[in-house]
Amino acid sequence: MSSSPRISVIIPSLNQCRYLERAICSVLDQGYDNLELIVIDGDSQDDSTDIIARYDNDITYWHSEMDNGPADAINSGLARATGDIIGILHADDLYLPGALDAAADAMHRRGKAEWIVSHVLRIDADDQHLGQQSASAPDAEHWHLFLSQEQGVLPLSASFYQRRLFDRFGGFDATLHYAYDFDFHARLLYKGHQPQVLELILAAQREHGESRCARSVVAMGVEQVDTALKHGENLEMRHRFALWQSCDEKRRIYTIAAAEMPRSDHRKYLWQKLLRHPWWLASSRYRESLLRGVLEPIQLPQRKAA
């Protein structure tokens, strides 16, 4: 009998056949001896089910049927998971070698962390390295700064949770299509549960134009704002007012982006680059400068004829 804690890895997927096999193999190639792999496919119309069926003997459970989005798919996986530790891997992301052993060490063997997160390697559609995104835990005394995205970077694919957190706080909000992890982390932080940040890189996070986030950066941003305001009701008034102001400025920026993006591919590209990194909007000075620059364009001096 294995002395290692049972780890359940849930992969939600929809039409990700280009990347899905890499994600599945990145889990199986861990060589972890007490693994439960669950793949929840949302009735993909590409070759995803053929890929999943290819690994049928190694996948503990999978199905392919219509759902209400990634949060609903993850919740379906959670309902079937039996592991002590839960990992959630997006179908276009990867675990790096040793990720599951590192999680087991931090949460069971050497440490008793209930929630861990690591840094991530950023990769493109062809697995080329784009750099690193550093994870960070928000200050426990300034939970409101997480809501305004001024503190705390917690990549879902590089996060692992003790199962008891889901038993206590429930799963992900299935009405959310983009901010479900932000919402879940906000709930944990509000109740005083802080993640332990490992100085390791356990996952690779893929950035490509086909991802839901890349296609729907405005909708993602607006949902993030709405979610922050919902949790902001638990803040004391001075912090709530600051959050309202921050969210109002962000909502105005998203409205401008939505109006400008259809005008040209260049503007769409620039706005996508900006909005896919929402922490760039964390600075009030940056938001004010951006709004002023868009609404009151700088007048360049006209060149006089010779």
Tens-digit pLDDT profile for residues 94-153: 999 999 999 999 999 898 999 999 999 999 999 999 999 999 999 878 888 999 988 999
Asked if residue 215 has pLDDT above 60, the reply is: no
Q: Report percent pLDDT > 70 for the chain.
A: 90
pLDDT at 299: 44
Q: Which residues of 34-55 are buried (b: 16+ CB within 10 A; e: fewer)?
A: bbbbbbbbbebeeebbebbeeb
Q: What is the mean pLDDT of the chain?
A: 89
**Distance (Å, rounded) from C-alpha 276 to C-alpha 290?**
16
Q: Which amino acid is at 105?
A: D
Q: How confident is the model at residue 306 (pLDDT cuts 50, 70, 90)?
A: very low
Say if residue 227 is in the same domain as residue 101.
no
**Is the pLDDT higher at 214 or at 154?**
154
Q: Is residue 1 part of a domain?
A: no
Beta bridge partners of 38: 10, 61
Say if residue 171 is in the same domain as residue 264.
no
58 secondary structure, DSSP code: T
Q: Is the separation of the CB atoms in 161 and 233 below 8 Å?
A: no
pLDDT at 213: 54
Radius of gyration of the chain (CA): 21
Q: Which amino acid is at 289?
A: S
Measured CA distances, 61 to 34, 41, 93, 185 (Å): 15, 11, 20, 26
Asked if residue 273 has pLDDT above 90, the reply is: no
pTM for this model (two decimals)? 0.89
Determine which of 12-26, 62-76, 213-227 has the lowest per-residue pLDDT on average: 213-227
- Sort strands 94-95 and 35-41 into parallel, antiparallel or unpaired: unpaired
Say if residue 222 is in the same domain as residue 273.
yes
pLDDT at 286: 67
List, in order, residues 6 or more apart from 259 with CB less than 8 Å away. none
Q: Is residue 301 part of a domain?
A: no
List, in order, residues 6 or more apart from 70 with CB less than 8 Å away. 12, 14, 42, 90, 177, 180, 212
Sole residue written with tokens 């590192």: 102
Beta bridge partners of 85: 7, 162
Sign, CA dihedral 169-149-279-138, equals negative
Beta bridge partners of 113: none
Q: Which tokens go with 271?
A: 């706005």
Asked if residue 226 has pLDDT above 50, the reply is: yes
**Distance (Å, rounded) from C-alpha 111 to C-alpha 109?**
6
pLDDT at 137: 94
Which range of residues forms the domain containing residue 102?
Answer: 7-208
Q: How confident is the model at residue 295 (pLDDT cuts 50, 70, 90)?
A: low
Q: Is residue 24 part of a domain?
A: yes
- For the segment 168-177, the average pLDDT, to the nearest whole number, is 97
Say if residue 179 is in the same domain as residue 238.
no
Determine which of 23-32, 161-170, 249-258, 292-301 has the lowest per-residue pLDDT on average: 292-301
- For the segment 210-230, the average pLDDT, to the nearest whole number, is 82
Asked if residue 301 has pLDDT above 60, the reply is: no
Point out the domain boundary residue: 208, 239, 259: 208
CATH of the domain at 204: 3.90.550.10
pLDDT at 233: 94
**Distance (Å, rounded) from C-alpha 297 to C-alpha 291?**
10
Q: How confident is the model at residue 257 (pLDDT cuts 50, 70, 90)?
A: confident
Q: Which tokens go with 276?
A: 């896919």
pLDDT at 297: 47
Residue 283 φ then ψ, to 5°: -80, 125
Say if residue 63 is in the same domain as residue 190.
yes
Q: Is residue 300 part of a domain?
A: no
**Distance (Å, rounded) from C-alpha 190 to C-alpha 266?**
40
Say if residue 260 is in the same domain as residue 197.
no
Say if residue 250 is in the same domain as residue 276.
yes
Point out the domain boundary residue: 208, 242, 265: 208
Say if residue 74 is in the same domain as residue 176.
yes
Asked if residue 298 has pLDDT above 50, the reply is: no
Residue 57 φ then ψ, to 5°: -70, -20
Using DSSP's 3-state secondary structure scheme, residue 189 falls into helix
163 secondary structure, DSSP code: H
Say if residue 100 is in the same domain as residue 178.
yes
Q: How confident is the model at residue 280 (pLDDT cuts 50, 70, 90)?
A: low
For 26-52, how does the pLDDT look when each residue is reduced to its tens digit (9 = 90+)? Answer: 999 999 999 999 999 999 999 999 999
